[in-house]
Chain A
Amino acid sequence: QKEVEQNSGPLSVPEGAIASLNCTYSDRGSQSFFWYRQYSGKSPELIMFIYSNGDKEDGRFTAQLNKASQYVSLLIRDSQPSDSATYLCAVQGGSEKLVFGKGTKLTVNP
């Protein structure tokens, strides 16, 4: 059973701080890694993807991948109240399907 694990939270950070979201996966053959943001009552929105070991930066977001440790993370710099949402980690292996974690609920306090 291929699994993706995330801390369910909630994770609470003050406005302007760095939010760090973590994800581990069990399938060592996984190739592609995605972070989705999901606001309450809405569908998942793709915010970052990473395919290679290392860091990938896009604005206030940085995705980090360590395949040896089977670990992927998302850093959100200068967190804003509008970043408050559930963040879903998704992993894609040899097949096309995404395997999702349960998500981490983030609250950014003004």
Chain B
Amino acid sequence: GAGVSQTPSNKVTEKGKYVELRCDPISGHTALYWYRQSLGQGPEFLIYFQGTGAADDSGLPNDRFFAVRPEGSVSTLKIQRTERGDSAVYLCASSTRDGRTYEQYFGPGTRLTVT
């Protein structure tokens, strides 16, 4: 079946601009996660949704970052007033979280470059 999809695959933006990154999880997966990965590092947790609500947003670095999942499926990560330090690969993952298994499956990522 189809995996997690993310769009765009690449995004180049100027410092100070607003960007939106989209994630479409695996069909039937109720849990959705956002991570970001800098070069040479492991992915770093940003936010987790169970259904429509953000169950854990403790990883969002500051209030310029916001994410939504209005219908419990597709999610959008929004970054305001982008800074060069926001440049990274933004990864989305989804999971069934059915009480027995907790495996998270990642999408291909969006490479964000802030110039």
Which residues does A use to contact B, with CB under 8 Å?
4, 32, 34, 36, 42-46, 49, 88, 90, 92, 95-103
Contacts and interface: CB of A to CB of B under 8 A. Distances in A.
Given A44-B106, A46-B103, A102-B40, 10 more contacts: A36-B106, A46-B104, A49-B102, A88-B43, A96-B48, A96-B50, A97-B33, A97-B56, A98-B43, A102-B42
Contact of B56 (A36, A95, A101): A95
Given A44-B91, A46-B105, A96 B42 contact: no
A96 B97 contact: yes
A97 B48 contact: yes
9 contacts: A34-B103, A44-B106, A96-B50, A96-B95, A97-B48, A97-B56, A98-B104, A102-B41, A103-B42
A103 B6 CA distance: 23
Of A36, A43, A44, A102, the most chain B CB neighbours within 10 A belong to: A43
A103 B40 CA distance: 8
A99 B48 CA distance: 13
SS class of chain A's interface: helix, strand, loop or mixed?
strand
Contacts, number: 57
B31 A43 contact: no
7 A-B pairs closest in CB distance: A100-B42, A97-B45, A43-B106, A43-B109, A96-B48, A44-B106, A100-B43
